[in-house]
Amino acid sequence: MANIRLRVAYDGTCYHGFQSQRGTGLATVQECLEKALTALTGDEVQVTGAGRTDAGVHALGQVVNFHTGSAIPPDRYVYAARARLPRDIVVRDSRLQPEDFHARFDAKGKIYRYFFYCHRGMNPFFRHYACHVPESLDVEAMRRGAAHFLGAHDFEGFCAKDPAVPMRDYTRTVWRMQIRAKGPLLVLTVGGNGFLWNMVRIIGGTLLEVGTKKRAPDSIPELILSKKRALAGKTLPPQGLFLWQVQY
C-alpha cells in the first residue's frame, strides 16, 4: 500500500470544519476528500489531517495522508482529484511518503494567518475571508503586545475547552508573531509547534483589544500567567482564519 501525502487548500465557508462528522449529514472537508479518493482509487480511503480546522475556517496548506493500492502515480492526484472534488477544495500537490508518515504526528509546526478588514464599511468580497473592524487600530501597540506571546508558555487561558477531551498539557511554543498592514487589510501571522482549540482566534481577539486601546500591550504577560480564559479577549469569528502552512 502506498502512503500518499496531499497538500490541500479549501474555502471553509460551506463546511462544518475539516473533521468528519459521520451520521450528522453535515458537510466536512474530510468526507469530501474521502469520497473523491475512494471513487478514484477503488479503495475505501480514510484520510488523516494535520489539523482539525473549525467550521468556516479556511486552509491554504492543510496536509493529509492516506494509504492506497491504486496504480495512480503519486504526483498525479493533483489532476486526478480535480474532477471529483467541489471547486472550493483543491489538491495543490501530491507525493509518495514513507510507510510510517503521519500527517498529524509528524508535523513539527504550523503557521496560521488571521485577516482583519479595517474600514468603516466592509468590502463584500472579503466578508467570508476577514473579520470586519470598523475603526482604525494602533498597529504598533498590537505588535508590542504580540511580542509577549513568543516563546514557550502555558496557554490555558487562550483556548476553548471540550469536556469530552480533557487536556493535560497547555504548554505550546510560539516562534513567530507578525502583524502586517496593507491598505485596509491587517494580517496576523502566528507560527508555533502546536495550537490549542481556538488559540489563534483568542490571541487575535486579545490583540484586537490592544489595537482599540481597551488593553495595554504590557498587560499580556500577566494575562498569560493568570491562565484564566475569562480575562483574555473574545474568540474572533472563524472566517478570518487560514491554516497557512504545516511544517515537517
Positions marked active-site:
54
Positive or negative CA dihedral for 100, 104, 105, 111?
Answer: positive
